[in-house]
Chains A and B, each alone.
Chain A
């Protein structure tokens, strides 16, 4: 191996430190370049993950030392009605925010993909909500959805609908929170879809148009199949986001981690925060964190499985 390298260096003066240094550079430098990431990951990603896992097997309160309880924190969760409520809420909130959000993003991206005036402006405009902070957006929505004097109930009043209890009733509250999420993330996803759509070869559309396919038909039969991997990506990212939903319900409930008077919108993250910081039971909070991770892995596995079988069917057919 050393010989071949020497030959490659064009038979110049025997090897010397220059070549060694060069070799060292090519071999070692990449590791040095990527080292900061892995170091940061180890410090802020891997270590907390493992430490949380260890904490979840202990009974530990803030400021006191831990003692080992094995899987008791997990079995406690299993028997805990509030955990199940939080899990259900996380699921329903995730569903009613992610599904409409991605559908709307797809539609928006399709529209933005047309040749239209001031396209650049619209593209920036759809991203504007994403640039807003969660806190600011949530505070505005809290005002809009105020049951007593909020704009939404006033508007409903004008069209003859009784005021809706946007915070104390379960579904209205969840819909209100999901609207914050949808508002913030639709544009972001739309831009991702738009980028993918622009990579779709134009001749596919031309061919489809020659075959007499309408715009809608083209969207369904050309666009969607072409950007399938991108859609899959956004579904995974949105699922992760939905499982970790925290800021919106926290601020919607007025910085209370109980998620409404009857926990009607307490998510898993809020429940974890409640356990960890309000109550100070770090072990139980860690167990919730790990359950969230396991749920995400499970959902990810299911999604991957669905995609695989789908692709196989496509290829087979």
Chain B
């Protein structure tokens, strides 16, 4: 009897100890979100609040290097302080965002979504977690480029994000290297060489190669060419119904065949864009290539990587066909504490005046129509490209873009084609057919159809 009593007490103490430890372990998880009322509409206008905006890469909003939009907003709304949670890698950003969405925790008041993932975000399991901008007062989808807001629209018509920038794609080229290869250097004449058809671009590459300075390839990478060609196609990886059709898509075939041809003709510098080895960024300085498919956000890369020594050597020409490569959206998770304020901030950040400011300071091409036709944007130039009408070139391309349906598996297929298929052909000499069947096998493994 006593023995059992002792054991019971021991058990009680042990359990108490366990419980105490358990409280320690789990204690930190639950209390943060419950205190708020849930709907931001109720909070009074004078309450001091902090809005967190989660993004990646450079959105050009911040007060240090960007257009100082956060401090401007703070001046307009003294009770609101904005904190930016920025990471550099958009892929890593999306991976953690989708985890936070599934768990409905750890989300910022505003979450940026890159175009490569926006089709994922419009899938039911994620879309239901975001505010539908169609229900937001003062939001008019027609303010943005048609294709832009369409990309953030779910199949049942909800709009989960407002458009920030777009990525109209032109061609950056080296005037000095073009001259040495006997090609014209004037940007209109250069554009005329390949106007209308990407296959002409490859033909110019052959001409370039015939007289090119030693060690200079025509273009940096097959993947850059592929992305630029594909961006201009009206049929890409996915059809209107959202079905993955990459292996029968005429757009993908065109882009694949042309970039494979460029590889076989030896027109590429066999580089991988944004590689961790920095081989790609180093190749700008060492004159390894003469052209580069240039979405508007790429000109910053050209300037940074080429360095002051090459200033004035680069110019920008209209592409054979207009395409959109990149751009993002701002979305507002419903679970936030200050949904109303966050929605207002997202609208303000993407309104025409602010998109103009970001463009002037940072070069991100606006997706807001009023901003796109603003003279301030049209007349913008860039110090690194003296005399180049940067604003005119990119806005013209942006207005010419013909949208293609996008789907949730697009970026997965794109990565497989560019990082595995094309790179394999370039660096390991794998044949075109073999590379393509590898791509198909990998996509099948990943998408599982």
Contact = CB atoms under 8 A, between A and B. Distances in A.
A26 B274 CA distance: 62
Contacts of B92: 255
B412 A279 contact: yes
Interface string B219-236: 000000000000000000
B101 A63 contact: yes
Query: Which residue, B275, B277, B424, has most C-beta atoms of chain A within 10 A?
Result: B277
B126 A63 contact: yes
A84 B274 CA distance: 29
A50 interface: no
Contacts of B31: none
Interface string B150-168: 0000000000000000000
Contacts, number: 113
Contact of B14 (A31, A82, A277, A281): A31
Interface residues of B, number: 51
Given A2-B3, A165-B427, A169-B428, A261 B14 contact: no
A27 B11 CA distance: 10
B140 interface: no
B427 A39 contact: no
Contact of A262 (B125, B276, B277, B428): B428
Contacts of A254: 272, 274-277
Contacts of B18: 35, 39
A277 B95 contact: yes
B424 A262 contact: yes
Given A62-B99, A63-B101, A278-B446, A258 B419 contact: yes
B448 A281 contact: yes
Nearest to A149: B282
Contact of B10 (A31, A36, A256): A31
A258 B92 CA distance: 15
B6 interface: yes
Contacts of B427: 165, 167-168, 261
Interface stretch (A124-132, A140-148, A229-237): A140-148
A148 B25 contact: no
A317 B77 CA distance: 87
B48 to A, nearest CB: 34
Query: Which residue, A62, A142, A261, A275, has most C-beta atoms of chain B within 10 A?
Result: A261
A280 B126 CA distance: 13
Interface string B406-449: 00000010011001100110011010000000100110011110
A1 interface: yes
Given A258-B419, A279-B412, A43 B98 contact: no
B98 A82 contact: no
Query: Which residue, B21, B276, B278, has most C-beta atoms of chain A within 10 A?
Result: B276
A254 B99 CA distance: 22
B22 interface: yes
Interface in A225-253: 251, 253
Nearest to A277: B95
A80 B415 CA distance: 20
Interface string B1-30: 011001101110110011001100100000
A262 B416 CA distance: 10
Given A143-B277, A167-B277, A262 B9 contact: no
Contact of A35 (B7, B9, B21, B428): B21
B103 to A, nearest CB: 9
A272 to B, nearest CB: 13
B13 A24 contact: yes
B428 A168 contact: yes
B207 interface: no
B317 to A, nearest CB: 28
A292 B137 CA distance: 53
Interface string A75-119: 000001110000000000000000000000000000000000000
- Give the dominant DSSP class at B's interface: helix
Chain A interface residue bracket vs B:
35 or more
Contacts of A251: 276
B25 A63 contact: no
A159 interface: no
B275 A32 contact: no
B10 A255 contact: no
Interface in B124-141: 125-126
Given A24-B9, A39-B22, A63-B101, A261 B412 contact: no
Given A31-B14, A40-B25, A280-B98, A24 B428 contact: no
Given A28-B13, A32-B13, A142-B276, A262 B420 contact: yes
Interface in B73-112: 89, 91-92, 95, 98-99, 101-102
B279 interface: yes
A20 interface: yes
A63 B102 contact: yes
A23 interface: yes
A64 interface: yes
B6 A63 contact: no
A40 B18 CA distance: 10
B412 A278 contact: yes
Contact of A28 (B10, B126, B278, B283): B10
Interface string A273-305: 011011111000000000000000000000000
A256 B447 CA distance: 18
A24 B6 contact: yes
A32 B9 CA distance: 13
Given A24-B6, A262-B428, A277-B95, A32 B17 contact: yes
A112 B89 CA distance: 44
Nearest to A146: B277
Contacts of A261: 419-420, 423-424, 427-428
A62 B102 contact: yes
B107 to A, nearest CB: 13
A28 B6 CA distance: 10
Nearest to B120: A280
A251 B276 CA distance: 8
B76 to A, nearest CB: 36
Contacts of B442: 82, 258
B6 A27 contact: yes
Interface in B268-303: 272, 274-279, 282-283
15 contacts: A2-B3, A24-B13, A39-B18, A63-B98, A63-B123, A82-B442, A143-B277, A146-B278, A146-B279, A149-B282, A167-B427, A168-B428, A256-B415, A262-B430, A274-B446
Given A165-B427, A253-B276, 11 more contacts: A2-B2, A32-B17, A63-B102, A146-B278, A254-B274, A254-B275, A262-B430, A275-B446, A278-B412, A278-B446, A279-B412
Closest 8 CB pairs of A and B: A254-B276, A168-B427, A28-B10, A32-B17, A63-B125, A261-B423, A63-B102, A261-B424
